[in-house]
Structure 1
């Protein structure tokens, strides 16, 4: 079984992305959804250890930036960021951070 965490950083403003909606989807559909806290983390998103398989995190980026007062084009360049990833058997802890602005994003497997 594996564990999962995520962290979202707003690179436009140079701060954690507080209040951003995140959904976790697994092999059998949506597992959970939540909002990032003041530190840009969503500690209660994952209900417990996860088996090996393919998963995705869906981040509602445009809604976050609009709520922060950023004027976005219609439609926005980036509306939602979806990060699909695999968790291997015995893979341990997976940390999937998102660094995001209204016009770019990046991710990596963190620790």
Structure 2
């Protein structure tokens, strides 16, 4: 069974999923330090993407990066932010060792902090 890559975002300041957050998925070549944009997606009302970021054999072993555009999300949510905001674009770089399993990269975020982990 081919693996897949998924994500979701929880707004810990408001206690809800973060809907309408733009996310970029990048592939990273560590030898050349080149990054290639794979796709840009937006979270739905549940704070997830409508489809896996990678699946059906498109998930390959390697290094990837997600960039979560949370500054725009909090600004659009009515949060009064400093200029520039403390958190704007959050990059998370991670490795895929086994492309045959599910990798889930959630983001827990507020305007002032974030955390992530390998979920299930």
Is the pair's TM-score, using the shorter chain for normalization, greater than 0.5? Answer: yes
CA contact (8 A) 1:34 1:44 kept: no
Partner of 2:48: 41
Partner of 2:32: none
CA contact (8 A) 1:20 1:60 kept: yes
How does 1:1-111 map onto structure 2 within 5 Å? 2-27=3-28, 29-44=36-51, 46-48=53-55, 49-90=58-99, 92-111=101-120
Distance in structure 2 (CA, Å) of the matches to 1:45 and 1:90: 13
Unaligned runs of 5+ in 1: none
Change (3 A) 1:66 1:90: closer
TM-score if structure 1 supplies the norm length? 0.93
Unaligned runs of 5+ in 2: 29-34
Distance in structure 2 (CA, Å) of the matches to 1:35 and 1:98: 14
TM-score if structure 2 supplies the norm length? 0.86
Q: Following superposition, which runs of at least 4 residues in structure 1 exceed 4 angstroms of deviation?
A: none
Change (3 A) 1:9 1:33: same
Q: How many residues align?
A: 111
Distance in structure 1 (CA, Å) of the matches to 2:46 and 2:110: 17
Q: CA deviation at 1:3?
A: 1.1
Larger of the two Rg values belongs to structure: 2
Distance in structure 1 (CA, Å) of the matches to 2:6 and 2:72: 22
